[in-house]
Chain A
Amino acid sequence: GEDVEQSLFLSVREGDSSVINCTYTDSSSTYLYWYKQEPGAGLQLLTYIFSNMDMKQDQRLTVLLNKKDKHLSLRIADTQTGDSAIYFCAESPSYGGSQGNLIFGKGTKLSVKP
């Protein structure tokens, strides 16, 4: 079945890099996503990667995809206190033929200490 796993907590010091990991099970996923949720708010799309890519970089964010191991990671460089939030990994099992629904992990709560 479809399942997305994430560690629940990560704590880092301000200025350090944060790495949030995710594993997924559906090898047919065409896109994989990272969303950020701040308290009481909706989800903000941070970045996403197409399954035929290994890496995608966008400013402080770097996404690495190991399709063989079905492992996705999000690296945040120079982590700031404003990065404290819950980060959700999500996969889209397929695109075009389906509705495009997403399967979410449980979220990783990132705490940034000054």
Chain B
Amino acid sequence: GAVVSQHPSRVICKSGTSVKIECRSLDFQATTMFWYRQFPKQSLMLMATSNEGSKATYEQGVEKDKFLINHASLTLSTLTVTSAHPEDSSFYICSARSWETQYFGPGTRLLVL
């Protein structure tokens, strides 16, 4: 149990386009999901906390107009990187909270050309 999926697993896009990443909890409901960003050989940086039915809470330094988060149901949160630029290239990982534990998705590798 406690499986979290992400789609797509890998995406390449042109600079200036927008990219949507989906995070789904497959066998449990999650009122809270988290979005992280991970640079090569570094730890995870929390970007935002996504709450079902309400606005996301963004960490300091994360632009909410650039990284749009929608948590429309108890099993789905989406992260849209708007007007992507090469510096947005990274590994994006989501997690879903179930009681005292967070379960992580497999990550999405974004490359902006």
Contacts and interface: CB of A to CB of B under 8 A. Distances in A.
A42 B46 contact: no
Contacts of A35: 104
A40 B104 CA distance: 13
Interface stretch (B60-68, B69-77, B95-103): B95-103
A73 B2 CA distance: 25
B44 A100 contact: no
A92 interface: yes
Contact of A101 (B34, B100, B103): B34
B63 to A, nearest CB: 19
Contacts of A43: 44, 93, 95, 104
Contacts of A42: 4, 6, 93, 104-107
Contacts, number: 54
A99 B57 CA distance: 10
A19 B57 CA distance: 36
Contacts of B34: 101-102
B42 to A, nearest CB: 7
A107 B40 CA distance: 12
Nearest to B49: A99
Contacts of B43: 88, 104-107
B101 A101 contact: no
Contacts of A17: none
Contacts of A44: 104
Most buried by B among A30, A43, A45, A88: A43
A106 B51 CA distance: 26
A42 B32 CA distance: 18
A27 B1 CA distance: 31
A104 B32 CA distance: 18
Given A42-B6, A88-B43, A88-B44, A100 B106 contact: no
B49 A45 contact: no
A96 B102 CA distance: 14
Interface of B: 2, 4, 6, 32, 34, 42-44, 46, 49, 51, 57, 93, 95, 97, 100-107, 109
Across the A-B interface, give the 5 residue pairs with the lowest CB-CB distance, nearest first.
A43-B104, A42-B106, A42-B104, A42-B107, A106-B43
